[in-house]
Amino acid sequence: MSLLLGPVLRHVGATTAQVWVQTEHSAIVEILGCSAPTFEVQGFHYAVVPVQGLTPDSTTEYEVRIDGVKVWPEPDSAFPPSVIRTRGPESAYRLRAVFGSCRYPKTGDEKLDDKLGHDALDCYAQRLTELPVDQWPDALILLGDQVYADELTPDARRNLAGRRSGRRTSGQRPPDEVVSFGEYESLYRHTWGDPEIRWILSTLPTAMIFDDHDIRDDWNTSAVWRKEMNAKPWWRDRIRAGLASYWVYQHLGNLSPAELSADDDYRKVLTAESDTWPHLSDLADRADSEVDGDKGLRFSYRWDLGRSRLIMVDSRNARILDSGDRKMLGDREFTWLEDQVDEGLDDLDHLMLGSSLPWLLPPALGDIQTINEIGANRKGIRGRLAEKIRQTADLEHWAAFLQSFLRLTNLIVAAASRASADEGGPATVSVLSGDVHHSYAARAVVPGSTSARVHQLVCSPVHNYVPLAVKPVFKLSWSPRAARITRRLARHSGSPDLPIEWRNLSGPLFGNTIAALNTAGRKAEVVFEQPSKAGDLVEVARIPLTE
């Protein structure tokens, strides 16, 4: 009985853990005396094993058994044993969270792999094999573009052509993009099957959220984009496969055992007697559709990590566009976010908001996106031109959803303002993001008196590249002079004054990068590292967040 992919260690609490696997056949999967049956999607088989009864602040080696046969660790593995490290009172006041986004897989093409450079997460995995377990991170946060469904490797394109050869639908589908669930399955197996990546995912609790390339470049940029894509004969198949595969491969493990067991969709999948694709197809339709100004499924979630909290925000699928009331999140989901921030806030030392898209861009670039949104709302040729520019230049971050940007800013300012001299409320509020293919740390200047520090921390890409022509644009967009010019233009276009200002502390950093947010009590820092030519990780920036 074969283990095709995984194990992937996902949500870990004080006494519980979630472990995700993909198996070759229907089976019972067992880990540390706990078991779960697989469920089937179009002939593929998956399980999420809820491991219970662990000890707080413990480290436990684990094996995976399928129908009683040990399948992990693999025979003669060169990697250390996979472990589950729980949190508890002893670890409540410290956290080491590694984060990044945009990881393109190895291609097997020597020239292309040289262009991409060393994979920063791969290098990080190699480092961990040489460190004691107690020096490993407490969490790995992947902030989007875990797979590239629309930018396939040369081998993947050839395999895709072979799969579609002779099929009646082959001419109706893009030749170099995945469309079906089976094609997504092949993509995930290729991307997560790299030995170093497979091992690190088996031993670090991993939180995930998607970005556009997990579905398609510029996904949900605007109502016009959605209308254009919905007119394509293959798009309905694509969005169903993309959202269903995301739910299976990424979303399920983001939930705790208690949250997952209470999930109606998961219960229906587990009790199905055969292929669950009809239900997942319906699930994807609900997730994609707008009903009364909200989406039918919430992919945002929360992890409590001692006296730190991570709230991961879905800034792609949660967008409201079709109704004409353009928002990054619907009102119901934004209210959920506000409730998660507010609950027990005074007992937190550090609050982290994960969003694949940066909240704070370089100021000039943010103003340009706001100006573009205002222009695209106009009728006639000016509106059509602004829309064309929006799609061409990827102007669809938080600043391009001004209503939502202001609401998020007010939420963050309110959370930071709860900090007081007697150390109630968080000492730091950090937004962790990716997407923009350069890395930086920016500090927001919050009005009023507060001891809390507010930051935008961006790490992108983990393994990809930036065209040379783009680099000077990012550098210029951090220029104070450029910011003054674009702010005047934004006000002239109708933008209100912004409630905060922000400045760059480090960056822009170009190249493959991995970052770590480290906390100890109420102190925090962020560290950016990049692979050297030899493949070792080299520190390129270390920024205190509480000074």
Least confident segment among 148-157, 391-400, 406-415: 148-157
Tokens encoding 136: 């490993």
Q: What is the pLDDT of residues 157-194, one digit of tens each?
A: 887 876 766 565 555 788 889 999 999 999 999 999 99
Phi, psi of 36 (to 5 degrees): -150, 145
- Position 343 pLDDT exceeds 70: yes
Neighbours of 26 (CB within 10 A): 13
Beta strands in 14-103 (DSSP E): 17-23, 28-31, 34-37, 39-41, 44-51, 59-61, 64-66, 69-72, 83-85, 94-100
**CA-wise closest residue to 314 among 301, 327, 304, 305:** 301
Judge whether 436 and 457 are in contact, CB under 8 Å: no
Q: What is the rounded CA–CA span in Å between residue 525 and residue 30?
A: 39
- Position 90 pLDDT exceeds 80: yes
Q: What is the pLDDT of residues 416-425, one digit of tens each?
A: 988 765 568 9
Which residue is listed with tokens 């022509």? 469
Q: With bands split at pLDDT 50, 70 and 90, how would you rate the model's confidence at 439?
A: very high
Q: With bands split at pLDDT 50, 70 and 90, how would you rate the model's confidence at 110?
A: confident
Give residue 175's pLDDT: 82
Looking at every residue in the chain, the average pLDDT score rounds to 94
Give residue 166's pLDDT: 57
For the chain, percent of residues with pLDDT exceeding 90: 87
> Strands of 3-12's sheet, edge to edge?
3-12, 17-23, 44-51, 39-41
Give residue 279's pLDDT: 97
Give residue 167's pLDDT: 61
The backbone region for 235, taken as left when phi is positive above 0, alpha when psi lies in -120 to 50, beta otherwise, is alpha
Query: Parallel, antiparallel, or unpaired for β 308-313 and 350-355?
Result: parallel
In this predicted model, which residue has the larger pLDDT, 450 or 378?
378
Q: What is the DSSP string of 371-433?
A: HHHHHHTS-SHHHHHHHHHHHHHT--SGGGSHHHHHHHHHHHHHHHHT--TT--S-SEEEEEE
The dihedral over CA atoms of 361, 364, 368, 374, expressed in degrees to the nearest 10, equals 90
Q: What is the rounded CA–CA span in Å between residue 253 and residue 262?
A: 14
**CA-wise closest residue to 420 among 454, 445, 451:** 451
Tell me the β-bridge partners of 513: none
**CA-wise closest residue to 58 among 12, 6, 125, 1:** 12
CA distances from 459 to 124, 353, 408 (A): 14, 14, 20
The backbone region for 330, taken as left when phi is positive above 0, alpha when psi lies in -120 to 50, beta otherwise, is beta
The backbone region for 33, taken as left when phi is positive above 0, alpha when psi lies in -120 to 50, beta otherwise, is left
Which residue is listed with tokens 């480090």? 506
Q: What is the DSSP string of 146-169?
A: SS-SSS--HHHHHHHHHHHTT-TT
Q: What is the rounded CA–CA span in Å between residue 421 and residue 95?
A: 23
Q: Give the domains, in start order, of the chain with CATH numbers.
A: 92-239+279-544 (3.60.21.70)
Q: What is the rounded CA–CA span in Å between residue 509 and residue 358?
A: 15
The backbone region for 218, taken as left when phi is positive above 0, alpha when psi lies in -120 to 50, beta otherwise, is left
Give residue 121's pLDDT: 98
**CA-wise closest residue to 120 among 542, 536, 545, 531:** 531
Q: What is the DSSP string of 274-286?
A: S--HHHHHHHHHH
- Position 312 pLDDT exceeds 60: yes
Tokens encoding 19: 């472990």
Judge whether 14 and 86 are in contact, CB under 8 Å: yes
The amino acid at residue 485 is I
**CA-wise closest residue to 349 among 535, 479, 518, 229:** 518
Over range 285-300, report the average pLDDT.
94
- Position 384 pLDDT exceeds 70: yes
Tell me the β-bridge partners of 21: 47
CA distances from 166 to 105, 154, 163, 169 (A): 28, 20, 9, 9
CA distances from 488 to 288, 410, 476 (A): 37, 22, 17
Give residue 133's pLDDT: 96
Give residue 171's pLDDT: 53
